[in-house]
Structure formats: C-alpha cells, structure tokens
C-alpha cells in the first residue's frame, strides 16, 4: 500500500544513516551517505503515501546540513525536485505558499542563481 511505501522509505533512510529500526532492531548497515537522488526518492515516497510531515522532516534535515555528500563532504541541500515532490502532495494552500516562499528564498544560497 502507499502508506507502507512511505514507512519503508523512512526505514531505508534510517538504515542508510546507521540507525536501528523497529523492524530490524539488531541489524545495522555500515553508515552510508545518501545522495540527493536517494533523499529526493525518500521524500517523494513519503509525500505520495500521505506522510507529507515526514517528507518535510527529511527536507528540513537536508536544510540543516545533516546529510553530507560522500564525494565533496559538503551538505546536500534541497533542490527544485525536492520542493516539487513535497508541493505535489501538499495538504493545505497555506503550507504550499510557505514552501514556495522558502524555495524562492533558498535560491539566494545556490551558486549562479539570481535571487527573485
């Protein structure tokens, strides 16, 4: 079901970051650095399955620099696809407006982009 896909995506993220999960309490993978594609896929699965709040939490963790690029050891920040995945399943117009404002303001932090 769609709801379980979001749960599985969050479990996969927990396993990638070396955390124990409810379904696999005694099993840990070596800690991995999820890339932007993996994080956007997890966000999309969460949002599509109705876990918009969980998708927002993952995006917030990205904005806080919690996930680092394995190649460059730099934070992986949300991109336009990240925001699209959340906006597509946003549950209220107010939340959608807040995300659009945030997305526009985040352009200032991207290289080579002119701020609105």
Q: Which residue has the tokens 């379980």?
A: 4
**Average of per-residue pLDDT across 15-33:** 72
pTM of the entire structure? 0.78
**Could you give phi then psi for residue 87, rounded to 5 degrees?**
-60, -35
Are 43 and 53 in contact, with CB atoms under 8 Å apart? no
Contact 37, 69 (CB under 8 A): no
| Whole-number Å distance between alpha carbons of 76 and 60 | 11
Confidence of residue 36 (pLDDT cuts 50, 70, 90): very high
Mark residue 112 as left, alpha or beta (left: phi above 0; alpha: psi -120 to 50; beta: remaining): left
Residue 16: CB atoms within 10 A of its CB come to: 18
Gyration radius of the chain over CA positions: 15
Q: What is the pLDDT of residue 27?
A: 66
> Reduced to 3 states, what is the DSSP secondary structure of residue 69?
coil
8 has a pLDDT exceeding 80: yes
Which letter does DSSP use for residue 22 in this model? S
Q: What pLDDT digit, counting tens, does each position of 70-106 carry?
A: 888 889 989 889 999 999 988 889 988 998 888 887 7
């Amino acid at each position: 079901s769609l709801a379980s896909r979001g749960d599985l995506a969050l479990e996969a993220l927990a396993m990638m970051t070396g955390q124990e999960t409810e379904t696999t309490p005694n099993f840990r993978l070596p800690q991995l650095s999820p890339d932007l594609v993996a994080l956007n896929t997890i966000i999309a699965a969460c949002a599509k399955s109705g876990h918009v709040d969980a998708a927002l939490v993952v995006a917030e963790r990205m904005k806080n620099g919690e996930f680092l690029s394995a190649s460059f050891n730099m934070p992986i920040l949300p991109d336009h696809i990240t925001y699209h995945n959340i906006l597509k399943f946003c549950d209220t117009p107010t939340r959608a407006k807040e995300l659009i404002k945030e997305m526009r303001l985040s352009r200032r932090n991207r290289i080579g982009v002119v701020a609105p």
